[in-house]
Structures are given as C-alpha cells and as structure tokens.
C-alpha cells in the first residue's frame, strides 16, 4: 500500500492547530510530526493514503488560508523509501527539544566570576567598564545590599556602582 506525505506550513501555532484540526476531521490521516523551524513558522507533516492526504491538506490549507497566514502546502504522493530516509533524517536532526536546548544555551548569559573574592576588590574603573546587567548581577549576589533586591532592577549604573563600592571597599576611619 502506498502512502503520501502532506506538508502544511503556516505562521503561528494557533493557525497550525486550526489547520490540523480540520485536516484530521476531513480524512483518515495521522500527524507524522509538527516542526517549529523558527521565525514563527510551524510545519505540519501529515501521513496516510494518497487520496486521504490530498483531501486533508486541502481542508487544512483552506482553514489556514481563511485565517490569512498560510505559507505553503504540498502533497508528496507515493513517497520513495530513499526520499523518506533523507526527509525524516533531516527533520529528526532538528527536533523541537534540541531546538529548545540550543535556544536556552543562547539565551542564558555566560556566568562569569564578577563577584570579588575576599582579598580582591572592584575598582571604580573596572565597574565603569561593566554593563548595567552585569552590575545588577553583582548586586544581587551580595547579602544585605544597600539597594533592596526588588529595587535593583530600577537602579541606574551610577547608583549600582556606588552601592557596590560601599559594599566592597573597607571603610576608612
């Protein structure tokens, strides 16, 4: 028995859900996978008999088109085994979990040792070179800091530098 692969591509997850809903209701097909390649695109792969996939892709694309965000749709009838290996191999190499992991690695700041050690102090020149976000990170690392933790996000660079210097510099009597 030959089967087909239907592809629906849209902008946004909500139109994709609406399209898949109408596609699955219109014919006896199944979802092979849902991909999130990036940029707001959502790609849905539908698998089943050739006629059923054609009908479901038409129904799904009509629903998505009515929303106005259909990018493309296509049906590959009688998918060859070699093409299937190539296609699913490339799809499986970029799954949503791996993509989420890559995104979290990119979004997480690289943790640097910005807080001074006991014998080391931060000079005003060193602090002036740091970004405000790094200064806020240093400020949050201190206990009993001059600025309340909930107000650190509102403090500007000069306020943060002044408070950090007060905390790290020993008082001269």
Q: Which domains, ranges and CATH numbers included, belong to the chain?
A: 4-95 (3.30.70.1710), 108-173 (no CATH)
pLDDT value at residue 116: 53
pLDDT value at residue 171: 58
More confident residue, 81 or 77: 77
**Share of residues in the chain with pLDDT > 70 (%):** 76
Q: Which of 37, 15, 9 is nearest to 96 (CA)?
A: 37
Decide if 53 contacts 5 (C-beta within 8 A).
Answer: yes
pLDDT in tens, 88-117: 654 444 444 554 455 455 445 555 555 555
> Mean of the per-residue pLDDT values for the chain?
80
pLDDT value at residue 21: 94
Provide the sign of the torsion angle of the four alpha carbons 98, 95, 73, 70, taken in this order. negative
Rounded distance between C-alpha atoms, residue 85 and residue 54, angstroms: 22
pLDDT in tens, 17-64: 999 999 999 999 999 888 888 889 999 999 999 999 999 999 999 999
- Torsion (CA) 115, 117, 120, 124 in degrees, nearest 10: 10
pLDDT value at residue 173: 47
Rounded distance between C-alpha atoms, residue 153 and residue 164, angstroms: 14
Query: What's the whole-number mean pLDDT along residues 143-151?
Result: 86
pLDDT value at residue 92: 43
- Order of strands, edge to edge, in the sheet holding 4-11? 29-38, 41-48, 4-11, 70-76
Q: Per-residue pLDDT for 78 more than 70?
A: yes
Q: Per-residue pLDDT for 120 more than 60?
A: no
Q: Per-residue pLDDT for 170 more than 80?
A: no
């Amino acid at each position: 028995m030959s089967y087909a692969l239907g592809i629906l591509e849209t902008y946004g997850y909500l139109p994709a859900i609406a399209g898949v809903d109408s596609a699955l209701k219109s014919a006896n097909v199944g979802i092979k996978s849902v991909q999130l390649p990036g940029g707001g695109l959502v790609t849905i792969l539908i698998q089943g008999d050739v006629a059923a996939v054609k009908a479901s892709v038409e129904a799904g694309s009509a629903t998505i088109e009515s929303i106005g965000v259909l990018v493309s749709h296509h049906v590959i009838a009688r998918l060859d085994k070699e093409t299937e290996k190539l296609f699913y191999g490339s799809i499986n190499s970029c799954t949503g979990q791996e993509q989420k992991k890559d995104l979290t690695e990119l979004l997480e700041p690289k943790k640097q040792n910005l807080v001074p050690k006991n014998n080391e102090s931060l000079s005003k020149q060193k602090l002036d070179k740091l970004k405000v976000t790094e200064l806020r990170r240093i400020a949050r690392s201190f206990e009993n800091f001059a600025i309340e933790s909930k107000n650190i996000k509102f403090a500007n660079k000069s306020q943060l530098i002044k408070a950090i210097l007060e905390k790290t510099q020993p008082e001269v009597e």
